[in-house]
Amino acid sequence: GQQVMQIPQYQHVQEGEDFTTYCNSSTTLSNIQWYKQRPGGHPVFLIQLVKSGEVKKQKRLTFQFGEAKKNSSLHITATQTTDVGTYFCAGEGSNYKLTFGKGTLLTVNP
Amino acid sequence: SQTIHQWPATLVQPVGSPLSLECTVEGTSNPNLYWYRQAAGRGLQLLFYSVGIGQISSEVPQNLSASRPQDRQFILSSKKLLLSDSGFYLCAWGAANYGYTFGSGTRLTVV
């Protein structure tokens, strides 16, 4: 079945440093979605990427979808303490089901 | 606007006891509904999904079952809980090519 790998598992940064998490799928995806889960909370949808090579930005967050539609990345510029949480990618295959990566836990030292 | 309600927020149950978690959605009709479990390792495991009333697909064979008695109601059940059933249970609704909206979750501890 479809597998989505996400690295790194953990990332600790100093406030102001950049952060990137990477996602790779074993199969070609129809779209990829990104979610953020604050400590103690539930996952919250951030964005969806559909097109090959697509790049989207949300303030300090930049999302990319690979040309082959099998990989993606989330980059945060100049992290803030409010960025703390676990970031998940989730790939949607041809069966309309989402497969989540295991997430990257980001901690930020003020 | 669409909202999703999930309760209870926290539950402590003894081994061997039954379980019933309920999820309801407002503001949309015929939603695709999902039950996920999140263990301490943070990954989200899809347990069940439903595309309509009475239609349930199971992703992982286990001690749990799901039912969808009404269009906007999704229930997760167990007849006898195991210690390994402890975790954070999340209900979600979503449609093809749209993001999922998760409920606030139920933290289940089986003791």
pLDDT tens for residues A1-58?
Answer: 778 999 999 999 999 999 999 999 999 999 999 999 999 999 999 999 999 999 999 9
Q: Which of A108, A71, A57 is nearest to A86 (CA)?
A: A108
| A contacts of B49 (beta carbons < 8 Å) | 97
Q: In the sheet where B73-78 sits, what is the strand order?
A: B3-7, B19-26, B73-78, B65-70
B4-39 pLDDT, tens digit each: 999 999 999 999 999 999 999 998 888 899 999 998
Residue type, B68: R
CATH of residue B67? 2.60.40.10
Domain span at residue B73?
3-110
Q: What is the mean pLDDT of residues B86-105?
A: 89
Query: What's the rounded Cα separation, in Å, for the pair A84 and A81?
Result: 6
Q: Please name the residues in contact with A80: beta carbons below 8 A apart, sequence gap of 6 or more.
A: A15, A60, A108
Two structure tokens written together for A97: 């089901």
CA angle (B22, B24, B29) in 5-degree steps = 145
Q: Are A76 and A61 in contact (CB under 8 A)?
A: yes
Instruction: Say if residue B31 is exposed, middle or buried (CB neighbours under 10 Å; 0-12, 13-18, 19+).
Output: buried
Neighbours of B58 (CB within 10 A): 14
- The DSSP code for B9 is S
Domains in chain B, number: 1
Taking an 8 Å cut-off on Cβ atoms, the answer to whether A48 and B49 are in contact is: no
Nearest-by-CA chain A residue for B33: A97
A42-92 pLDDT, tens digit each: 999 999 999 999 999 999 999 999 999 999 999 999 999 999 999 999 998
Taking an 8 Å cut-off on Cβ atoms, the answer to whether B44 and A42 are in contact is: no
pLDDT at B28: 84
Q: Does A45 touch chain B (CB under 8 A)?
A: yes
Exposed e or buried b per residue across B34-56, where buried means at least 16 C-beta atoms within 10 angstroms of its C-beta: bbbbbeeebbbbbbbbbeeeeeb
| B contacts of A99 (beta carbons < 8 Å) | 46
Ordered domains of chain A (ranges, CATH) = 4-109 (2.60.40.10)
Neighbours of A89 (CB within 10 A): 31
Query: What's the rounded Cα separation, in Å, for the pair B70 and A21?
Result: 39
